[in-house]
Structure 1
Amino acid sequence: MVTQADAENEDRSGASSIRRTVILLRAVAQGGDRGRRLSDLARETGLHKATASRILGHLVEEQAVVRGADKHFALSRDMQHAMGLPHSISHLRAQARPLLADLTDQLEDVTLLSVRSGYDSLCIDRHVGRWPLQALSLDVGRRRPLGVGAGSLSLYSWLDDAERAQIRSAIAEEMSAFPKAGPERIEELAAQSRAQGFTYLPDFVVPGMTGIGAPVRDRNGAVIAAISIAAVGDRLKGERGGKATALLLETRDRLEARLKGTPLAATGEEST
């Protein structure tokens, strides 16, 4: 006979296992398609190497994680799809990387590539510039609620009214962590962004930091990603901010041209 104490102990053990698995999955996801080594995953999550290896083994068996020939672990394509990530994410990153690197070289500030993942935006690439002070509040693998941040707002603003309303309702509690990002304010900024064709957020997420973002569309006109730039102080304000915006939009246009010139579409299919 199973007692209440036995059931409670089993619940605690199960919850602990779930917690470790989720923490490990998040760490794996931060490696993108390149994957991450077992030793790095164990160190970052605080798990014993044997424990991390056992959990990863189960995740590989369940086809949530794949283990490459280089012994790096990465999310499987099916898992990415289940999490709301497009199968084409590696192709998108590859197409955007040289363009963002060039933009970073010109501006000397941070450039970012983000995609939608459920009700969040997910940073999938970041380039750090040469200017002594860099805006490093968002790293690869980091999520923010849709609408919070220049790239995130670019992913949110061009959705239809019903979908934006659903998102605002779903993430209302998360938005409370960002004092300037209430639902009404996000909607005002979205309308402003659609009118001007880009997002502009001075001193919004982090005091003293400005972000500018632009939506990236596929050949069917659907927004599949966002590119953005971030800088501290006044570097993205005034005349320099206008020049930076022009360069960002030019980079976005070049990226869209590259994407439309390949078999890539917003269907989740990889080009070969």
Structure 2
Amino acid sequence: MAILNAFAQGGVRPNLSEICRRAGLPLATGHRLVGELTEGGFLERVPDGTYRIGTRLWRIGSQAPAVMGLRELALPHMEDLYEATHDNVQLGVLRDDRVLIVERLRGTRSVPVVTQVGQTLPLHTTGLGKVLLAHAPPDVREKVLAGELARYASRSITDADDLRRSLEQVRRSGYALTRDEMTLGASSVGAPVRDGSGEVVAAMSLVSGTRGADLRRLLPPLTTAVRALSRDVAAHWRGRPDTNFDTSGAG
């Protein structure tokens, strides 16, 4: 489990030494266990000596009810949003004080992004994250505000008071805007997805080049998409994000 958890944050593919360091295992033990996981299809060894999640593990993980149900409901609205903007479209949920990317559509004519499905991103530097953090339970929000706010790009907010004011603005306006906070040259605008009780259960965002991040262009189609998805969530959601969606139409 420690070895598999070493891949949780995504990003650069680790080699064996890095896996052992992240997992807190001796090299000999890690070598044996990584070999077994690779042989079983849970990990894959890349020719350059690094490792990535294997297709067998991906198939198992993709059946998680919260991920599977939310993706099924969201994809039509994400596709409509992509057709309207041709920018990167992302969907995320709050998991372990980070944003878990549930689905994404890459805009071929937009700014390149390295986000992958299943990857987690920080809450304080992303449009998705700010939306989720602004509407998170107070104890979760305070935990993040009290922790380290790492700098990822030139405009990352690293001061807790500044972030608190930014989150208040998100709650007032109904959307979050970031500019050069996660990646230099990239901006995002995120908006909340709500369930039938009005609680925020996910967030959707558009990621564009900073020069093209015009709210007058991006916010109206994003707002339309999250409202439509929220209606579907309200109609089919059963319980909290760790339970099933009912996609049968029975409600």
Q: Does residue 181 in structure 1 map to residue 181 in structure 2?
A: no
SS at match of 2:118: coil
**What SS class does the counterpart of residue 259 from structure 1 fall into?**
helix
The answer to whether structure 1 residue 22 and structure 2 residue 39 are counterparts is: no
Distance 1:87 1:167, change over 3 A: farther
Please say if 1:112 is aligned against 2:96.
Answer: no
Q: Match of 2:21? A: none
Q: 1:176 to 1:256 in 2, by over 3 A?
A: same
SS in 2 for 1:114: strand
Equivalent in 66, 71, 78 of residue 88 of structure 1:
66
Bigger Rg, structure 1 or 2: 1
Quote the offset at 1:228 in angstroms. 0.2
Deviations 1:75-95 (A, max 9, x none): 867xx9xxxxx8422100111
Deviation at 1:186, TM superposition (A): 1.6
Q: Assess, with a 3 A threshold, how the Cα gap between structure 1 residues 53 and 255 changes in structure 2: closer, same or farther.
A: farther
Aligned residue for 1:6?
Answer: none
Task: Give the corresponding residue for 2:196.
Answer: 219
1:126 aligns with 2:104: yes
> Structure 2 matches for 1:243-262, cutoff 5 A?
243-262=217-236
The separation in 2 between residues aligned to 1:130 and 1:58, in whole angstroms, is: 35
Following superposition of structure 1 onto structure 2, how do residues 133-212 of structure 1 map, counting pairs within 5 Å?
A: 133-170=110-147, 172=148, 174-177=149-152, 180-182=156-158, 183-212=160-189
Flag structure 2 segments of 5+ consecutive residues without an equivalent: 17-29, 43-54, 247-251
Distance 1:57 1:130, change over 3 A: closer
Deviation at 1:46, TM superposition (A): 4.9
1:249–1:194 CA distance, 2 compared to 1 (3 A): same
| Cα distance in 2 between the residues matched to 1:74 and 1:122 | 15
Query: SS at the partner of 1:26?
Result: coil
- Distance (whole Å) between structure 1 residues aligned to residue 138 and residue 15 of structure 2: 43
Q: Secondary structure at the match of 1:138?
A: coil
Q: 2:57 aligns with which of 73, 78, 81?
A: 73
1:87-144: CA deviation from partner (whole Å, max 9, x where unpaired): 422100111111111111110110000111111111121101242x424142322222
Distance 2:38 2:244 in 1: 26
Shift of residue 49 of structure 1?
11
Q: Distance in 1 between matches of 2:168 and 2:112?
A: 26
Partner of 2:48: none
Conserved? CA contact 2:93–2:102, under 8 Å:
yes
Write the distance in 2 (CA, Å) between the matches of 1:176 and 1:214: 23
Quote how far apart the aligned CAs of 1:50 are.
8.4
Letter in 2 for 1:151: L
Q: As a proportion of its length, which structure holds more helix?
A: 1
Mapped to 2, the partners of 1:201 and 1:176 lie a distance apart of 13
Identity between Structure 1 and Structure 2 (%): 18
In the alignment, is residue 234 of structure 1 matched against residue 217 of structure 2? no
